[in-house]
Amino acid sequence: MLSQQELERFKVQLLEERRKIVSDMDKLVKESNELGKDGTPDIGDEASDLSNRQLLLSLNEADRAKLMEIEEALERIEEGTYGICEECGEPISIKRLEVKPTAIYCVACKSRLEKLQKRE
């Protein structure tokens, strides 16, 4: 089990990650809204702007998925289930949580689940 101090450290780390993602998402939305507003675009500019906007939106989708993982990890901290493998119920190693603070599986279960997915 994680100590209260370790839980607090992970909570601070997750909150900082969330703040950074939200800030980055705000910047991307502003940049996306600004595309094509720099004068009269020709067809090449419009195609380039559309391509850039699609790229920004796809990056935004990845950030949204990461943000959801962070929110779920914060909920687990509040519920007292953070750091417990959702597959086997055993503690997730502190080393794994340091690498991936949103982890929901211990290394053994994650490895086994990945092998099963590759077989499908």
Residue 114's pLDDT is what? Answer: 95
57 membership: H or E segment, kind and range: helix 43-79
Residue 30's pLDDT is what? Answer: 73
Residue 43's pLDDT is what? Answer: 53
Q: Are 28 and 46 members of one domain?
A: yes
Distance CA(116)–CA(120), nearest Å, equals: 7
Q: Are 52 and 101 members of one domain?
A: no
Q: Are 10 and 34 members of one domain?
A: yes
Please count the other Cβ atoms lying within 10 Å of the Cβ belonging to residue 2: 17
* Axis crossing angle, helix 4-34 with helix 43-79, rounded to the nearest 10: 160
Please count the other Cβ atoms lying within 10 Å of the Cβ belonging to residue 106: 21
Classify residue 38 by its DSSP letter.
S
Q: Are 87 and 36 members of one domain?
A: no
Residue 57's pLDDT is what? Answer: 63
Q: Are 7 and 65 members of one domain?
A: yes
Tokens of 96: 């794994």
Q: Are 69 and 119 members of one domain?
A: no
Q: Are 72 and 87 members of one domain?
A: no
Q: Is the pLDDT of residue 86 over 60?
A: yes
Q: Are 41 and 93 members of one domain?
A: no
The range of the structural domain enclosing residue 10 comes to 1-79
State which amino acid sits at residue 1: M
Q: Are 29 and 9 members of one domain?
A: yes
Read off the pLDDT of residues 18-77 as tens digits, 9 standing for 90 and up.
Answer: 999 888 877 776 766 665 555 555 555 555 555 555 655 666 678 888 999 999 999 999
Q: What is the tally of structural domains in the chain?
A: 2
Q: Are 63 and 115 members of one domain?
A: no
